[in-house]
Structures are given as C-alpha cells and as structure tokens.
Amino acid sequence: MGSYLNPGSFIFRNSLNSKIYVDKSGLIEKTNEYLNTEQRFLCVSRPRRFGKSMAANMLAAYYDCAEDTAELFEKLQISNCSSYRAHLNQYDVLKLNMQDFLSMTHNVSDMLNLLQTRIVSELKRKYPDYITDEPLIFAMQDIFSQIGRPFVILIDEWDCLFREYKQDKDAQKQYLDFLRAWLKDKDYVALAYMTGILPIKKYGSHSALNMFYEYSMTAPGEFAPYFGFTEEEVKALCDEYHMSFEDAHDWYDGYGLVSHAFSGTKKYSMYSPKSVVEAMLRHKYDTYWNQTETYEALKMYIQMNIDGLKDAVVEMIAGARIPVHTGTFSNDMTTFSTKDDVLTLLVHLGYLTYDSEQEVVSIPNKEVAQEYINALSTMDWHEVLASVKTSKKLLESLWNMDADAVASGIEQAHKEISILQYNDENSLSCTINLAFYFAREYYTVVRELPAGKGFADVCFIPRRLYADKPAVVMELKWDKSAEGAIAQVKEKGYTDALKDYHGNLLLAGINYDKQTKCHSCVIERFSV
C-alpha cells in the first residue's frame, strides 16, 4: 500500500463511519461499464463540496488489488449489480490529488517532475524486477507488459492548475500535454477518471484531452445522480433528523440536472451535500456551502459587467431565469467574450443552475442567493441592495393592505434599479420580485402559476412555519389598470390554485402607467 499506488480504503472507511453517509456506490456500476473500452476516459466536473473526492476515494477502495474490501461494499447498492464481483479488487490503482503536487512546487515543471518521481518510486517498490528509474510512461508500459494488469487512474482536482495559474497559458499547455502523453492511447489504462470544478480546457477548435468523455453541470449525462444529494435522499435525511424538508428545499435545492439515456430522459433536482449534512448535524438551516470559499470569488466575476451582465444578475436576484448560450465557454477562468461565458463559469462554480432544456440560468437556492447579497454589499450596486433592505417594510405594507404604501415602495424600487429596461410586464415583474425580495423568508414565490383559465403572474404561498401569513395572488398590468388586474384574477379563477387559503388570501393588482410613469395598486381580501 502506498500514498499514490494502491492507497487502500482508509479514507473511504472514514466516510462509511460518518454519522451521515449517503450511498453513491451506483457510480461504480457506471465506471465498470467503461473499463477497458474506448470510453474509459471520464471527466466529471462539479462545484466544490459536491462529493467528488469522496467518490474518488470510493473507486480507489473498490478497484484496489492490494486489499480485500468486499466487507465495505456488501451492504451498498453496488453489491446487487452483475459487474460487482468481476472488478472488485482487480486493478492497480493510482490515485492522485493534483492540488497536493501543485502546492508543494513553484512551477508546473517542478510539479510534474515531483509527480512522476513519487509515482515511479512507489511502482519500483512494488515491482522492483520490472522497472528502474525510468520516466513514468515507460515504467507503466514495462509493468503492464510483464504483469498484464492495467491501471485504474484516479485524478482529483485535475483543474487546480487552471484555477491557480489562470493567466499562464504556457503552463496550462505543458500540463495538458503531459496528461495527453501519459494517458492517450495507452494500453496500460483500464480507466482514467478525473474530477474537478472545470470541464477540460479547450485550445482553439480542439482539446489536448479529446479522448475524455465529459460529464459536467451543463451536460451531466448518466452521472447526474451521483454528485450531490437527490430529492429522495434529502427527504430521507429530513425524516431521520426531524428536519423540515420544505426548508431544506428552499435553502439547498435548485441544481436541476437532466440526464439523457437510451432508457429515456430523467430530471434530477440536486442538493448541495455539504450544506445538507451540516444542517442535519447542527439541526439548523444556515449558509454552510459558502463557508468553504468567500463571496470574493463571485464578486470578481459579476462586477465585470460584460455585455449587460449587471442587468442579468439583478434579474436573477429578483428570481428571473436568463437565456444563455454555453457553447462559447473556453472552460477556463479568464477567457470571456460575452456575458454568457461568465454565466456559464458561474454554473460550473455552483453559483447558478442551468436548465439544459430551456437553455436558461438562475440562482438555485436561498443559500446561494445570500452569496450574491454578500457580494453586492461590498460593491457599488447600492440601488439594488437598497431595494433588498427595504423589502421587509414593503411586505408589511402588503399585509396591512396599505395599497398606497405598496405602490410607493414599488415606485422606489423601480427608481433604484433603473438599470433595467422597463418597457413591458416582464420588466415590471422583475421590479416586483426584487421589491418583495424579503417575501422569500415566509413564502414560496411562484411566477406564472397555472391557475383557473390561465397563469397567475406572481403567487406568494406561505411556508409551513408561517401558515398564519396570508397567501397572495398578484396580477401585473402594463399601461392598463390595477382594478382591471383584480377583475382578471377573479374572472379567470386564479384563486383556484390557492383554494386552501381562501380564508386568508390577498389579491393585489399592480399597474404601471407609461404616461405618468407611476405605479398604482389595489389590494383586496378574498374569501368565499
């Protein structure tokens, strides 16, 4: 057993021994399918703290031929799969965390030299009769030619160099060229599995690592359910720890991943695992994911304001979904031609979620939304932050049915976020959602809720803990009348969707008059 060659199961045992362990061993069935095939090169990219390292430790424990680990897997999902026994403890495993080598050296040449020296040293210790102090590639070729057993190569934090050497194109190319020479077309590779935050860097029209099949936040494929927690897994934990699933959903849900396969298309609503585990163990919902990295990373990108980026961020804070084209993203942290490139990076970093069917991005949940507010608090976006801070008072005015105060508050929010093009009901909706930002503390806010004979523009549905608060149906009008908005709600039966709240339901009609450039509001209590 070595540090890199056949590292054993110690770290994975720690995961199994933890108070909370969610079984993701189904991943092994997927990697088994690709062993010793043309598709044996896999790169999985996910945001930080999404279970990437744990998965790599699990794969190492499963494939490692130096240790019998059957007792670790007998009670896990993988033990029921037909390929389980065939590949259990059958390979020499090389497991590397690239961040370790990068942290111990001062340039990429020293990093790669250290990596090769350490691996060759361990290979020589296990196979002294077959290799000398040769380069890594030759050493592995010689071992395979004599033993006939290929390697499973697991690389964690594969992209760390691109995150720390953001501007050093030569270093990046040297690193990619090494990986290509080491892995591509090598018969000693049974499986090459890499994980990181970023997909593989593109150079021009091709990638130096074009043999890899990529599974990212924008195209997760069949690996979608194995990184992060699924809704079913979170529900089970909430039941076990007597925590509100509704609150868990608001705080940590929102990463929508779509998997396309021969068997059909599956949609997954994934949760941040770090945050869910912390919330269960501490018995308190709070911001945990962002404690591993400051909001400065987010701030650095959103303050660029490339190609109308600021408007897009404001709209997303207000709850909007923004169209995005991900195809131009270069898979690095410096090459940005349009705002779409920045938005795509934020998807990979976990600050946005991507709907691949609609091709739109949005802020996934309450925890991440707080990161945006933290970032804005140290930037010159004072007008946006002011709207957020005054939203509590505006919500109280709504509860008090003070229509003039609500109209005045919306008016002020409109002035404060005048950076937005304000020329239709969609822009009015953005203003409303930002003005009532604080409503998310008490409500599930739904835009375009199917109801009656159409769609209610905005609905506030009380969360379980705040059942005493009134539900709200808002109808928005552009250059018409607030009274007409209320009439439409009643005429088309928009209240049907909230029939459980008919005893405690407010109807709010809001209109913007483009001539006077003023908002008007009518509020009624609805009951049957």
CB-based contact 197:163 (threshold 8 Å): yes
**Same domain for 428 and 327:** no
**Same domain for 426 and 455:** yes
CB-based contact 392:403 (threshold 8 Å): no
Q: Of 357, 380, 403, which marks where a domain is finished? A: 380
How confident is the prediction for the chain on average, in pLDDT? 91
Q: Of 181, 197, 215, which marks where a domain is finished? A: 215
> Is residue 1 included in any domain, yes or no?
no
- Of 181 and 423, more confident: 181
Write down the pLDDT at residue 394: 95
Residues 6+ apart with CB under 8 A from 445: 319, 433, 436, 439, 458, 459, 460, 461
State the residue for tokens 């199961």: 9
**Same domain for 402 and 311:** no
pLDDT digits 0-9 by tens, 79-116: 999 999 999 999 999 999 999 999 999 999 999 999 99
Highest mean pLDDT of the ranges 8-12, 165-169, 421-425: 8-12
Q: What is the mean pLDDT of residues 371-399?
A: 89
Write down the pLDDT at residue 114: 96
- In the chain, DSSP finds a helix count (H) and a strand count (E) of 21, 15
> Is residue 2 included in any domain, yes or no?
no
Within 290-424, where are the H helices?
296-302, 309-317, 339-349, 366-376, 382-399, 403-416
At residue 300, what are phi and psi to the nearest 5 degrees? Answer: -60, -35
State the residue for tokens 């069917």: 357
> Is residue 229 included in any domain, yes or no?
yes
Q: Please state which of the ranges 9-18, 188-197, 212-221, 329-338 shows the lowest mean pLDDT.
A: 329-338
Residue 62 has pLDDT above 70, yes or no: yes
**Same domain for 443 and 521:** yes
Q: How many residues does the chain have?
A: 528
Write down the pLDDT at residue 217: 96
> Is residue 4 included in any domain, yes or no?
no
Closest CA to 192 of 91, 78, 43: 43
Residue 423 has pLDDT above 70, yes or no: no
Q: Of 380, 413, 440, which marks where a domain is finished? A: 380
**Same domain for 162 and 24:** yes
Task: Name the pLDDT band for 324 (thresholds 50, 70, 90).
Answer: very high
Highest mean pLDDT of the ranges 15-24, 482-491, 498-507, 509-518: 15-24
- Helix, strand or coil, per DSSP, at residue 46: coil
**Same domain for 124 and 113:** yes
- Of 426 and 472, more confident: 472
Write down the pLDDT at residue 425: 66
- CATH of residue 486's domain is 3.40.1350
> Is residue 3 included in any domain, yes or no?
no
> Is residue 5 included in any domain, yes or no?
no
Going by the DSSP 8-state scheme, the letter that residue 258 receives in this structure is E
Closest CA to 182 of 155, 202, 164, 201: 155
Residues 6+ apart with CB under 8 A from 401: 506, 523, 525
Q: Give the predicted TM-score (pTM) of the model.
A: 0.91
**Same domain for 222 and 103:** no
Q: What is the mean pLDDT of residues 458-476?
A: 92
**Same domain for 164 and 35:** yes
Write down the pLDDT at residue 419: 53
Residue 478 has pLDDT above 70, yes or no: yes
Write down the pLDDT at residue 296: 79
Report the alpha-carbon distance of residue 135 to residue 416 in Å, rounded: 63
**Same domain for 399 and 319:** no
Write down the pLDDT at residue 422: 59
**Same domain for 405 and 488:** yes
**Same domain for 197 and 74:** yes
> Is residue 325 included in any domain, yes or no?
yes
- CATH of residue 193's domain is 3.40.50
Q: Please count the other Cβ atoms lying within 10 Å of the Cβ belonging to residue 167.
A: 9
Number of independent structural domains in the chain: 3
Write down the pLDDT at residue 424: 62
**Same domain for 308 and 203:** no
Residue 253: which domain range?
217-380
